[in-house]
Amino acid sequence: MKTINYTENNNFKAGVITINRPSQLNALNSVVIDELNTLLKSLEKSSDIRSIIITGSGNKAFVAGADIKEFQKHNIQQAKALSQQGKEKLFNKITNFSMPVISAINGYALGGGLELALASHIRIASFSAKMGLPECSLGLIPGYSGTQKLTRIIGSNRAMEMILTAKVISAEEALNMGIVNKVVDQENLLDACLDFSKLFNRTSRESLRAAIKSINSSHLPHGEDIETEEFSKLFETDGFKEGVAAFLEKRKPIFQ
Ligand code: DAK
């Protein structure tokens, strides 16, 4: 893992996590999931980090899936435990993270790899990226929230097509379907993610956390209540005081 600093506004940083298992196309085994969990916990405590970027090492794969060699012998109970633990340690941890997480999709994002990207808040892909949820072709279904999150992102019609056919799509198709936010040349991918992450510097830390929580709740029956609660809580934050003061004083806000 490395952290890249930039100084455009307020000196905030983006934490860059590189999944480093290139010989296995960065497939997610339990060691990698545990390491990512530890890294995310430590980055969340850092007051000068405003966003996280996750990418894969090498230029072939973001993450080629959950590690098929590791889960091939699991029984029902083990599979259930693995799904629950994986969601808690990694996939839902990212979705519910208190700051924005960008997936920099630099190659294959298949199965658990696409589920990792879908768990993020923003997805930027290189033109060479390939994405799919091929689990049905292995006699499974996506088990790390892929059926839930893809459906919420692109609707059940297109999610049915992708998951039931196990097809792999190009980055441009993913852009047209609304799976990724942007597609760039491979050599510009990290810079594009860093540029994107600078946009968060103009917003307050507390607003980012509250917005992520509220948007994530939009499909819940009590989503409106969560939005009202999060909105109200912001009125006693430093970010709100600074944002309004800056507007009235006709200057740019300086968020902490
Ligand atoms: N798992 C383990 N190893 C993988 C892998 C994966 N998903 N993907 C690639 N590798 C390994 C290959 O086995 C090979 O290792 P060695 O044989 O050299 O030791 C190495 O990475 C290089 O791969 P290839 O030689 O195959 O490279 P190619 O360029 O020829 O092909 C490929 C690239 C991405 C087309 C191919 O590797 C491939 O089809 N990979 C599998 C893609 C895939 O099906 N991914 C979805 C996996 S299913 C669960 C929750 C969730 C899930 C499962 C369980 N529970 C809660 C229990 C999710 C499942 C999935 O993600």
Q: What is the mean pLDDT of the chain?
A: 95
Q: From the CB of 62, is ligand 1 less than 6 Å away?
A: no
Residues 6+ away with beta carbon under 8 Å from 176: none
DSSP assignment of 30-99: HHHHHHHHHHHHHHHT-TTEEEEEEEESSSSEEE--B-HHHHTT--HHHHHHHHHHHIIIIIHHHHT-SS
CA distance linking residue 254 with residue 44, whole number of Å: 21
Q: From the CB of 79, is ligand 1 less than 6 Å away?
A: yes
Q: From the CB of 71, is ligand 1 less than 6 Å away?
A: yes
How sure is the predictor about 4, in pLDDT bands with cuts at 50, 70 and 90? Answer: low
What pLDDT is stored for residue 31 in this prediction? 95
Q: Model's pTM, two decimal places?
A: 0.96
* DSSP helix/strand/coil, 207: helix
**Exposure on the CB side of residue 24, measured as CA atoms within 13 A:** 15
Q: Higher-confidence residue: 1 or 140?
A: 140
Q: What is the DSSP letter of 9?
A: S
Q: From the CB of 134, is ligand 1 less than 6 Å away?
A: yes
For residue 128 the two structure tokens come to 């060479």
State yes or no: pLDDT of 10 exceeds 90: no
For helices 205-216 and 223-233, give the axis angle rounded to 10 degrees: 170
- List, for residues 110-168, the tens digit of each pLDDT value: 999 999 999 999 999 999 999 999 999 999 999 999 999 999 999 999 999 999 999 99
CA distance linking residue 249 with residue 95, whole number of Å: 36
- List, for residues 35-88, the tens digit of each pLDDT value: 999 999 999 998 889 999 999 999 999 999 999 999 888 999 999 999 999 999
CB-neighbour burial class of residue 77 (10 A; exposed 0-12, middle 13-18, buried 19+): exposed
Q: Whose CA is nearest to atom 13 of ligand 1?
A: 24
What pLDDT is stored for residue 23 in this prediction? 96
Q: Which atom of ligand 1 is nearest to the CA of 135?
A: 48
What pLDDT is stored for residue 141 in this prediction? 97
What pLDDT is stored for residue 2 in this prediction? 57
What pLDDT is stored for residue 47 in this prediction? 84
115 noted as active-site residue: yes
Amino acid at the residue 23? S
How sure is the predictor about 12, in pLDDT bands with cuts at 50, 70 and 90? Answer: confident
What pLDDT is stored for residue 1 in this prediction? 57
224 noted as active-site residue: no
Q: How does strand 13-19 pair with strand 49-56?
A: parallel
What pLDDT is stored for residue 218 in this prediction? 96
What pLDDT is stored for residue 7 in this prediction? 52
What pLDDT is stored for residue 48 in this prediction? 86
- List, for residues 181-236, the tens digit of each pLDDT value: 999 999 999 999 999 999 998 899 999 999 999 999 999 999 999 999 999 999 99
Q: Whose CA is nearest to atom 12 of ligand 1?
A: 24
